[in-house]
Structure 1
Amino acid sequence: MYRAPRYYGPRGTDYSRWSRGYRVQPYFYGQNYWIADPWRYRLPPAYGSYRWVRYYDDVALIDVRSGLIEDIIYAFFYR
């Protein structure tokens, strides 16, 4: 687990537990939610159209072309 600043999700949204294969809306994986340096958190590199994205205290590997979650790690961050 890693310490992180407060998460500010898209306006009007609440936490809902995601899972692999779930399709999320684009406003959840905009560039401001990308984890710019996965190495810093010991995450595997994201290649092609995949990006590690912070979602509340979780991190998800999302295909930003389709919005499909490829992988997710729950409770990755703490405050």
Structure 2
Amino acid sequence: MFGTEPPAPSTANTRHAHPNRHWNTDWRRDHRYDWNDWRRRHRSRFHIGFYYDPFGWDYFRYGLGWRMWPSYYGSSFWLNDPWYYRLPPAYGPYRWVRYHHDAVLVNIYTGQIADIIYNFFW
């Protein structure tokens, strides 16, 4: 049923799923990653077209710690160059992904959301 968390994927039990260093949201205070100002000056970069929802569901506002369905963080949704959007690099099991208009940092082994920026794209 939509709105419920999926079961933990089998990869959630691997040693790669739990990094020694957890994601730190202090990057938001670093002027190098001022994506908001960058977006204001480079609007076309953030208008990346239609979003295809793998299940055809409407938007659901996820929060930190929530676990996403694996179809939402497959490699076709990855933001392969976070710096292009002035986001910090993702390391270890983390990847920046696009989810509708949001930029979501997800642990690709567990599906758990480590960071999120709402209304990042349009």
TM range (shorter): over 0.9
How far does the alpha carbon of each residue in 1:14-62 deviate from its partner, in whole angstroms, 9 at most, with x for none? 2100110000110110000000110100000000110000000001000
Aligned length: 78
Higher relative contact order (CA 8 A, sep 6+): 1
**1:13 positional shift:** 2.0
| Gap regions ≥5 residues in structure 1 | none
1:28 maps to which of 72, 85, 107: 72
Q: TM-score, normalised by structure 2?
A: 0.62
Off by >4 Å, runs of 4+ in structure 1: none
Moved more, 4-13 or 42-51: 4-13
Q: Distance in 2 between matches of 1:71 and 1:30?
A: 17
Q: Normalized per residue, which structure has more strand?
A: 1
Q: CA RMSD in A?
A: 0.9
**Could you say which structure has the higher helix fraction?**
2
Task: For 2:96 and 2:86, locate their aligned partners in 1 and report how far apart those are by CA, in whole Å.
Answer: 12
Larger radius of gyration: 2
CA distance in 1: counterparts of 2:120 and 2:77, whole angstroms = 14
